Amino acid sequence: MPGPYLANALAKLERENDPARAAELAAMRDRMAVLDAEREEENPRVYLGANNPPGETPAEALAPTPEGFEAIKVNIEDLLVEARNWADGVAVENQAQADEIARLIEDLRAAEGAADEARKAEVKPLDDARDAIQTRYNVYIAPLKNKKPGKVPLAVSALKTTLGAWLTKLDDERREREAAAQAEAAKLAQEAAAAMRASVPEDFGAREEAEEKVAEAQAAATVAKQLSTARVHAHGGNRAIGLRTYWVPALTNPRDALAHYVATRPDDIKAFLLKLATEDVAAGKRAVPGFTITEDRKVA
């Protein structure tokens, strides 16, 4: 831990005078003594800029190194030790302690920023290489949702539109045949039912004719069912390409829709309303019908 941080942590432990931490306190005092001795042996004339200003740093020296991460890690770990000493459940007793905590927060934020900048520098070569590869392939495979779609998705989309028109024509014809078959099956079923009602057990011929009408009605119903489940396809490779049905809702009566979802999905409606209210409060509103807005104070 750097000397200033160690001194702060040591002062805090000495203020608390917790017997359970006597060993830790002794170790910290020993470490402070070592640091004080080292400072006394340092050459007082050695300081930044004592000779000539530093020359321009070579580009290769700016490249991220494992040693750079270790320096960041050591700094952060030291700050975390100090943070644990301050955030140990003991309340702040005076302004000086509050100022020390505020200073530590700023030091931690600065360390976090330095670590993030080092991370960006370390991953930049990888990101640049990935971006170059992605750009190379995106010319052909970028999804349609991209600002500049790839050529292959565009071609597939155009071909699907062309094929879709043909398959839709075939499906419309199939639906016409299905409707006609269903109408014929319904007509034959009515005729068969009427013939069965009109026949009597002793009239063999009439009963036989009624049974034939029932068979015809059943056959017609089978044809209608087959047409209803049939699908139009195009076969040109390992898989068939057909139409897919999508059901798309359109809001026509918001009041009825809201009543429906309030009754069937109340938690989702509450979450949605809370989201709207949170946005309004963030925009400056302090009164929203149906909500109680309270003040909450936190350290910025």
Residue 102 pLDDT greater than 80, yes or no: yes
Cα dist from 37 to 2, 33, 43, whole Å: 14, 6, 12
Among 192, 277, 278, 178, which residue's Cα sits nearest to residue 230? 178
d(CA 2, CA 75) in angstroms, rounded, equals 8
Asked if residue 189 lies in contact with residue 217, where contact means CB atoms within 8 angstroms, the answer is yes
Residue 8 CB partners (closer than 8 Å, separation 6+): 82, 85, 100
The confidence band for 48, taking pLDDT boundaries of 50, 70 and 90, is very low
- Provide the 8-state DSSP code for 19: G
- Provide the 8-state DSSP code for 59: G
Residue 60 pLDDT greater than 70, yes or no: no
d(CA 51, CA 29) in angstroms, rounded, equals 35
Please report the DSSP string for 79-139 in residue order.
HHHHHHHHSSSPPP-SHHHHHHHHHHHHHHHHHHHHHHHHHHHHHHHHHHHHHHHHHHHHH
The answer to which of 32-36, 73-77, 285-289 has the lowest mean pLDDT is: 32-36
H-run or E-run covering 233: strand 233-235
Percent of the chain with pLDDT over 90: 64
The confidence band for 224, taking pLDDT boundaries of 50, 70 and 90, is very high
Alpha helices in the chain (DSSP H): 3-16, 22-41, 66-86, 95-141, 151-198, 204-229, 254-264, 266-282
Tell me if residue 48 falls in helix, strand or coil: coil
Q: Residue 29's CB: how many other CB atoms inside 10 A?
A: 13
- Summarize pLDDT for 229-280 with one digit per residue, the tens: 899 999 888 889 999 999 999 999 999 999 999 999 999 999 999 999 999 9
What mean pLDDT is predicted for residues 144-149? 95
Asked if residue 243 lies in contact with residue 231, where contact means CB atoms within 8 angstroms, the answer is yes
Asked if residue 118 lies in contact with residue 72, where contact means CB atoms within 8 angstroms, the answer is yes
Residue 131 pLDDT greater than 70, yes or no: yes
Cα dist from 90 to 85, 97, 107, 122, 287, whole Å: 10, 11, 21, 39, 38
d(CA 165, CA 172) in angstroms, rounded, equals 11
Residue 53 pLDDT greater than 80, yes or no: no
d(CA 259, CA 277) in angstroms, rounded, equals 20
- In terms of average pLDDT, the best of 3-7, 19-23, 183-187 is 183-187
